[in-house]
Amino acid sequence: MAQLWGGRFTKETDKLVYQFNASISFDKKMYRQDIKGSKAHVAMLGKQGILTKEEMEQITKELDAILADVESGKLSITDEYEDIHSFVEANLIDRLGAVGKKLHTGRSRNDQVALDMRLYTREEVKETDELLKKLLETILRLMKENTETIMPGFTHLQKAQPITLAHHMGAYFEMFKRDRQRLFDIYERMNYCPLGSGALAGTTYPLDREYTAELLEFYGPTLNSMDGVSDRDYLIEFLSASATIMMHLSRFCEEVILWNSNEYQFVEIDDAYSTGSSIMPQKKNPDIAELVRGKTGRVYGALLSLFTTMKGIPLAYNKDMQEDKELTFDAMDTVKGCLALFEGMLATMKFNEDVMRKSANHGFTNATDAADYLVNHGMPFRDAHGVIGQVVLFCIDKGIAIDDMKLEELKQFSDVFEEDIYEAISMETCVNKRLTIGAPGKAAMELVIQKEEAYLKANPGIGTNA
Ligand code: ARG
């Protein structure tokens, strides 16, 4: 047990207490951030004359060596240390002796861990954004390819009106676009540096917090040292944005599962993204989509967990906050994994255009347009709704679509019907007459596609946005 404290103690820590208290098994993930933060801290101590130039250089060089040794596997992060901060400092002291002991001058593990977690999360925000962008590119490709691919649109999971696959995909484009915007907002708010907050009340050393903030590419230092060490809002915001991403992925997965079912057959998931059954030879299951849908729960859980952890903590740092890591790391990995796998599944999925079109044809998805036809010929809408309702009943009885009825049959319900009814209720007409912005009509869709394309160009990634 290598501990950073001991002077005040006359007894060894109980072994179980030590294990219960330790965080190395999970915070070792932050070794890069911890070393990066220490290097910035030391550079600042040197600039301020708190360390000599020589001490600064020695420590910096050794921190780089520790990093290199960890990365090459020469030095492994073992649980004889309490946390990643102790690990780095103890190794530095082993290598440098007295000079190594100066690293922690003017710093507390409280501002250190606050910094490490922020640096770690900032990277995660960027990586998640990149994966979202990749997914948006695939969705946009499908939109471009399918402005004429007719399918039924649903409400209550009942066929409602015809739309196109481009339109359906476009709905998800909007959702994931908002998810990116949320990440961008979070980044803007969180990108301030807590280093220099000390344990809670800053320090008496003349630290230059602006300088460390700049070295670590933050917009500036945080403005209250108590908040600096105890703010975890950015994690809650990131988990909330992550939960929303998962909710969107889960809805999409639910549709893919339905569409891939024997009953729908709208799509076929690629073999590479499907699984078989150990007993039923005929099976090809959508396990990946189901897993993404299922994993949504873990991410929601992480959000609720941290909300609950934070709600009763008096200022400033309390050990409860160590609980901000395990579930958050799990959520971060889960979201990234799900985004990558979902994108791959979507990009390779086969759409059965004929089946989708037939389904639209045979679900009275043009009933609204048939009623509109009557309205356009002078009938009040409520009456038209009634007439078409009767027409639909007639068709259900015969097992046919409205389009299959002869003109004489239609005329029995209303003499307003003429030969042009067939054109008016064709799937193409139903879709392409819907031309308000946001509607599925081809011309409207093409305009939206242009806008989405421009959005992607203007937003290549967090930190690089035009
Ligand atoms: N492992 C701790 C955490 O994750 C580091 C900070 C410890 N600070 C302290 N005063 N005990 O929160």
Band of pLDDT at residue 465, cut at 50, 70 and 90: low
Query: Looking at 157-161, 283-287, 309-313, 418-422, which range is the least confident one?
Result: 283-287
Cβ atoms 429, 439 nearer than 8 A:
no
3-state secondary structure at position 228? helix
Strand 267-268 relative to strand 350-351: parallel, antiparallel, unpaired? Answer: antiparallel
23 C-beta closer than 6 A to ligand 1? yes
Per DSSP, the chain holds a count of helices (H) and strands (E) of 19, 6
Six-digit token string for 157: 């999971």
322 C-beta closer than 6 A to ligand 1? yes
Ligand 1 centroid vs 35 CA: distance in angstroms?
16
DSSP 285: B
Six-digit token string for 159: 């066929």
pTM: 0.95
- pLDDT of the residue at 302: 98
Chain segment 42-81, per-residue pLDDT in tens: 999 999 999 999 999 999 999 999 999 999 999 999 999 9
Band of pLDDT at residue 143, cut at 50, 70 and 90: very high
**Cα separation, 149 vs 143, whole angstroms:** 10
**Cα separation, 25 vs 166, whole angstroms:** 46
Query: How high does pLDDT run on average in the chain?
Result: 96
Q: Give strand pairing partners of 158.
A: 155
**Cα separation, 265 vs 184, whole angstroms:** 38
Six-digit token string for 31: 């070794």
- Closest CA relative to residue 269, chosen from 342, 334, 354, 339: 342
Chain segment 89-135, per-residue pLDDT in tens: 999 999 999 999 999 999 999 999 999 999 999 999 999 999 999 99
**Cα separation, 170 vs 100, whole angstroms:** 56
22 C-beta closer than 6 A to ligand 1? no
Give the nearest ligand 1 atom to 22 CA. Answer: 1
The yes-or-no verdict on residue 1 having pLDDT over 70 is no
109 C-beta closer than 6 A to ligand 1? yes
- pLDDT of the residue at 378: 95
Q: Which stretches does DSSP call E strand in 209-257? A: 220-221
Ligand 1 centroid vs 239 CA: distance in angstroms?
21
Chain segment 332-369, per-residue pLDDT in tens: 999 999 999 999 999 999 999 999 999 999 989 999 99
Chain segment 9-50, per-residue pLDDT in tens: 888 888 999 999 999 999 999 999 999 999 999 999 999 999
Six-digit token string for 387: 């007439």
Give the nearest ligand 1 atom to 321 CA. Answer: 12
21 C-beta closer than 6 A to ligand 1? no
Closest Cα to atom 4, ligand 1: which residue? 322
Ligand 1 centroid vs 213 CA: distance in angstroms?
21
Six-digit token string for 458: 């203007």
Q: Give strand pairing partners of 351.
A: 267
Ligand 1 centroid vs 322 CA: distance in angstroms?
6
- Is 104 in the active site? no
Six-digit token string for 198: 């000390």
Sign for the CA dihedral angle at 341, 342, 346, 347 comes to: negative
Catalytic residue among 72, 156, 167, 377: 156
Residue 410 C-alpha from the chain's centroid = 51
Ligand 1 centroid vs 319 CA: distance in angstroms?
6
321 C-beta closer than 6 A to ligand 1? yes
Would you call the peptide bond into 316 cis, given omega within 30 degrees of 0 as the criterion?
Answer: yes
Band of pLDDT at residue 6, cut at 50, 70 and 90: confident
Closest Cα to atom 12, ligand 1: which residue? 322
Six-digit token string for 277: 């059954």
**Cα separation, 216 vs 213, whole angstroms:** 5
Cβ atoms 330, 259 nearer than 8 A:
no
The yes-or-no verdict on residue 278 having pLDDT over 90 is no
DSSP 163: E
Residue 35 C-alpha from the chain's centroid = 28
- Is 156 in the active site? yes
Contacts with 25 (C-beta within 8 Å, 6 or more apart), sequence order: 79
Catalytic residue among 277, 362, 377, 414: 277
Ligand 1 mutation pick, 83, 87, 118, max ligand atoms within 8 A of CB = 83
Cβ atoms 427, 361 nearer than 8 A:
yes
Ligand 1 centroid vs 126 CA: distance in angstroms?
26
Give the nearest ligand 1 atom to 82 CA. Answer: 1
Residue with tokens 């930190």: 463
